[in-house]
Amino acid sequence: YVMGPLAAIAAGYAANRIFKSLANAVGANADWSNGLQGIGTGIGVGATLGFGFPTLMGTIGGWLGTTAFLASTGIGIVVGVVVTLFTSSTTEQGTVVYYCNQWQPITGGKNCELCNNKEVPCSEYQCKSLGQACNFVQSDPENKGEPFCYWENPDDIDAPIIKPNSDVLTVGYTYSDPEAVSPPDKGVKINTNKGDGCLSPFSKVTFGVTINEAAKCKIGFDKQTSYDNMGIFMGGTDFPRFNHTQTLMIPEINQTVGKDNFVSVSVRCQDLNGNSNPSNFVFEMCVQKGPDTTAPIIYETSIVNGAKVPFGVANANVNFYVNEPANCRWSFADRDYDKMENNMTCATEGSQMNLRLSYTCSANLTGIKTAEKTSYYVKCQDLSPQNNTNKDYYLKPEGYTLQGSRALVITEASPNATTIYDSTSPASVTFNAKTLGGTQDGKAMCFYREVGSTGLYTQFDNSDYSSNTHSTIVPFENGEHSYSIKCNDRGGNSDTQIINFNVSIDNKEPLIARAYYEDNQLKIITNEKAECVYSTSIDTACKYNFEDGVSITSYDQINHLAEWNTDEDLYIKCQDVYGNQPAKPNECSIILRAQNRNNL
């Protein structure tokens, strides 16, 4: 069974398409893609002319070490094999970094006017969201005193001017040789004050720039072609400002970005109108040659040295941040590195450098004692042939320490099991708490939240880790209330208490329940505790101040006794313990006149 030339061409085209699909699937570059298509066409034409189309897929299958049936039912296996053939020897590793920066308006100010002459007056937030160069005035004399948004300096076409900032340069370093950078770029060298001026590998250096106007700045390694092509904001912020600062970890010679033993950092900036530098401002640094003779340095730890540990916690996972790739160990005693019993898990690849520009070594520190200080001795050995080891344990003389603690307890929490009376709505209720124990003899910060709520706790106003007594004022309406009081100390200890209380708001004036004769006196009974006064002036009647009235005797603030006076009217006002009295100043609680007993 032999097919003709046309069939052979068709089969060759089909094989060409198959191999093109495989090239796309495995991410082959243009050269590999063309090569694969050529292989496909050759196999297709040759196999078809010699053996027919069914044999074509069998030939491909045989070449790939599989059966004709499998090869003719799909390209999945072919893809797998081609991936192995064409990518196994060209594997590359890299680091992809994602930046979460705050949203920024567009550059310039062509849209500033959109904020004006609207039904709703323009606000500063609205104005500055329309463009980075939009400026806002609250009251513009030329716009009838209304808020106004305008484009500041619309004719600006000049790029920011960059100068090195000596104020932020790491102590012991200097800027020098401003002519060292080849035109059109400008810049400086960063030198140390020692030897040849080159920087030590794995050292940190901080440098910065000052700008003649607010601008965003980016950095890149080697020469950069434009601001837009640079991906790293200087100092990690994309907020426009006049000063920008950057800290770098100096790499080893074999990791140096640039030529020979030089590191080159390019800076370009963009102002609010979108004008960016046409050339780079370059910081050049040389890295010391020769063998690594310096021991690793532990810059900081994830849990600060001497930190308080919560009650009941016997272990702590701690990260130690080292300036260079190294292996670290720890022990309860000050021993040589080789004799330390406990290994750490350490990042040793350049791609594993963290955002602190250091390498992380993690340890699970055990044996933390309750209410006692536990010391841990840490040493690190770098990966150089010299096996440099820090000869002193971390932070002499005690090493790295963690302080165990006792439990934190809320000994008092109020109000609880009581009723709060007030005359205003809402009522002001004072929460009080007292704490004991923990990491600092009861010093803690307290919070409150309604029982059953899933929201966040609210911090007490007067609570800041400086005292063991805490208070705050909370507004409440009438009714029963149940709240959770939670206190935390700096070591992570916490305790919670539930308080239950009732709020009764009385904003009504007291009422006269009864008034009658008793033992030659006028007896008045009020419906609540109150103080009563009277006036007998017909001219003023009820139009007198409570303070100007004549006090009526009372022995329990409920029962009140006055003289049985049949000659005058008594204009009586009563005020309860919350200050509630008749709402209007010309009103009385009651007007009474005693009658002659002989006429009854």
Pick the residue with more confidence: 72 or 366? Answer: 366
Token couple for 363: 């340890």
In the predicted model, what is the mean pLDDT of residues 494-520?
Answer: 95
**Could you tell me the strand order of the sheet in which 553-554 lies?**
512-518, 521-526, 559-563, 553-554
Contact of 269 with 278, CB cutoff 8 Å: no
Name the amino acid, one letter, at 41.
T
The answer to whether position 12 is within a domain reads: no
Q: Is 588 left (phi over 0), alpha (psi -120 to 50) or beta?
A: beta
In the predicted model, what is the mean pLDDT of residues 63-82?
Answer: 35
- Among 62-76, 212-226, 358-372, 461-475, the range scoring the smallest mean pLDDT is 62-76
Question: Residue 416: which CATH number?
Answer: 2.60.40.10
Name the amino acid, one letter, at 276.
S
Pick the residue with more confidence: 541 or 389? Answer: 541
pLDDT value of residue 483: 98
Q: Is the pLDDT of residue 26 over 50?
A: no
Q: Which of 383, 342, 349 is nearest to 365 (CA)?
A: 342
CA 249 to chain centre: 25
Number of folded domains that form the chain: 5
pLDDT value of residue 93: 64
Q: Which of 533, 101, 106, 491 is nearest to 307 (CA)?
A: 491
pLDDT value of residue 390: 80
Q: How much of the chain exceeds pLDDT 90, in percent?
A: 59
pLDDT value of residue 403: 92
User: Do 146 and 201 have their domain in common?
Assistant: no
The answer to whether position 90 is within a domain reads: no
Name the amino acid, one letter, at 160.
P
Q: Please, which pLDDT band fits residue 245 given cuts at 50, 70 and 90?
A: very high
| 55-58 contact pairs (CB < 8 A, 24+) | 56/11, 56/15
User: Do 312 and 397 have their domain in common?
Assistant: yes
Q: Which of 227, 259, 286 is the last residue of a domain?
A: 286
User: Do 426 and 470 have their domain in common?
Assistant: yes
Rg (CA), the chain: 42
The answer to whether position 187 is within a domain reads: yes
Q: Which of 51, 90, 87 is nearest to 68 (CA)?
A: 51
The answer to whether position 107 is within a domain reads: no
Name the amino acid, one letter, at 230.
M
pLDDT value of residue 86: 33
For residues 117 and 120, what is the distance between their CA atoms, to the nearest angstrom? Answer: 8
User: Do 413 and 394 have their domain in common?
Assistant: no
Pick the residue with more confidence: 420 or 200? Answer: 420
User: Do 168 and 265 have their domain in common?
Assistant: yes
pLDDT value of residue 81: 33
User: Do 389 and 348 have their domain in common?
Assistant: yes
pLDDT value of residue 533: 97
Q: How do beta strands 232-233 and 204-221 pair? A: antiparallel
- Average pLDDT taken over every residue of the chain: 83
The answer to whether position 209 is within a domain reads: yes
Q: Is the pLDDT of residue 317 over 60?
A: yes
User: Do 264 and 319 have their domain in common?
Assistant: no
The answer to whether position 3 is within a domain reads: no
- Among 7-16, 93-102, 389-398, 474-483, the range scoring the smallest mean pLDDT is 7-16
pLDDT value of residue 92: 63
User: Do 306 and 323 have their domain in common?
Assistant: yes
Q: Is the pLDDT of residue 307 over 70?
A: yes
Q: Please, which pLDDT band fits residue 16 given cuts at 50, 70 and 90?
A: low
In the predicted model, what is the mean pLDDT of residues 522-533?
Answer: 96
Q: Please, which pLDDT band fits residue 17 given cuts at 50, 70 and 90?
A: low
**DSSP label at 583?**
S
In the predicted model, what is the mean pLDDT of residues 266-295?
Answer: 91
Q: pTM, whole model, 2 decimals?
A: 0.58
Name the amino acid, one letter, at 399.
G
Q: How much of the chain exceeds pLDDT 70, in percent?
A: 80
CB-facing half-sphere around the CA of 434: CA atoms within 13 A: 4
pLDDT value of residue 178: 66
In the predicted model, what is the mean pLDDT of residues 505-516?
Answer: 93
Structural element, H or E, at residue 193:
none
Q: Please, which pLDDT band fits residue 598 given cuts at 50, 70 and 90?
A: low
User: Do 199 and 260 have their domain in common?
Assistant: yes
Q: Is the pLDDT of residue 58 over 60?
A: no
In the predicted model, what is the mean pLDDT of residues 10-28?
Answer: 51
Secondary structure class of 151 (helix, strand, coil): strand
Q: Which of 325, 428, 429, 454 is nearest to 381 (CA)?
A: 325
Question: Residue 570: which CATH number?
Answer: 2.60.40
Number of Cβ atoms within 10 Å of the Cβ of 496:
14
In the predicted model, what is the mean pLDDT of residues 526-537?
Answer: 96
For residues 280 and 187, what is the distance between their CA atoms, to the nearest angstrom? Answer: 8
The answer to whether position 215 is within a domain reads: yes
Q: Please, which pLDDT band fits residue 428 given cuts at 50, 70 and 90?
A: very high
Question: For the segment 163-175, what is each residue's pLDDT rounded down to a tens digit?
Answer: 999 999 999 999 9
Q: Which of 505, 536, 567 is the last residue of a domain?
A: 505
pLDDT value of residue 55: 39
User: Do 442 and 380 have their domain in common?
Assistant: no
Secondary structure class of 376 (helix, strand, coil): strand
Please state the φ and ψ torsions of residue 127, each to the nearest 5 degrees. Answer: -60, -50
| Domain span at 137 | 112-151
User: Do 386 and 340 have their domain in common?
Assistant: yes
Q: Please, which pLDDT band fits residue 102 given cuts at 50, 70 and 90?
A: confident
For residues 16 and 33, what is the distance between their CA atoms, to the nearest angstrom? Answer: 10
Beta strands in 177-203 (DSSP E): 186-192
Cα→Cα distances 374→315, 371, 421, Å: 11, 10, 52
pLDDT value of residue 52: 41
Give burial (CB, 10 Å; 0-12/13-18/19+) of 410: buried
Neighbouring residues of 588: CB distance < 8 A, sequence distance ≥ 6: 541, 542, 571, 572, 573, 582
In the predicted model, what is the mean pLDDT of residues 380-395?
Answer: 78
In the predicted model, what is the mean pLDDT of residues 237-264?
Answer: 78
Q: Is the pLDDT of residue 489 over 50?
A: yes
The answer to whether position 247 is within a domain reads: yes
Q: How do beta strands 521-526 and 512-518 pair? A: antiparallel
User: Do 280 and 176 have their domain in common?
Assistant: yes
Q: Which of 125, 151, 177 is the last residue of a domain?
A: 151
Secondary structure class of 195 (helix, strand, coil): coil
